[in-house]
């Protein structure tokens, strides 16, 4: 089993910044990719940003230039630095991690979600 603990959400004014964190622990041999998704009320969950084991990143177009995903390999932690927040960024943000366990099996895990609310 793998546990993910997210932190860093909150209420912020438009134009402000936040940093989200997600720490993974448990039966992990390697982390293949880490990503952040978000889901606004009444909408589908969407991929916001992802980073692979080699450090390659990708972003949804709506956040390019404002969001930066990074990771601390030693701590099995992924971060999402958010600048220039907009009201439309208001969502619950979920961390997702794709891992290989000590037995060689792959699996994906979700964090509990952290709410980001942007006021105009």
Mean pLDDT of 60-75: 96
Contacts of 5 (CB under 8 A, 6+ apart): 22, 23, 25, 111, 112
Are the C-beta atoms of residues 92 and 81 closer than 8 Å to each other?
no
Quick one: how far is CA 61 from the chain centroid? 16
19, two tokens: 């940093």
pLDDT band, very low/low/confident/very high, at 71 (cuts 50, 70, 90) = very high
Check residue 40 and give its pLDDT: 95
Check residue 102 and give its pLDDT: 95
Condensed to tens digits (0 to 9), the pLDDT of residues 78-107 reads 999 999 999 999 999 999 999 999 999 999
Quick one: how far is CA 24 from the chain centroid? 12
């Amino acid at each position: 089993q793998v546990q993910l603990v997210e932190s860093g959400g909150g209420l912020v004014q438009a134009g402000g910044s936040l940093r989200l964190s997600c720490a993974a622990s448990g039966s992990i041999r390697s982390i293949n990719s880490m990503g952040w998704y978000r889901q606004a009320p009444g909408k589908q969950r969407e991929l916001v940003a992802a980073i692979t084991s080699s450090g390659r990143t990708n972003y949804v177009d709506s956040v390019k230039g404002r969001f930066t995903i990074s990771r601390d390999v030693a701590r099995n932690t992924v971060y999402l630095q958010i600048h220039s927040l907009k009201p439309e960024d208001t969502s619950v943000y979920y961390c997702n991690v794709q891992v290989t366990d000590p037995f060689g099996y792959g699996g994906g895990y979700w964090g509990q979600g952290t709410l980001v609310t942007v006021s105009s």
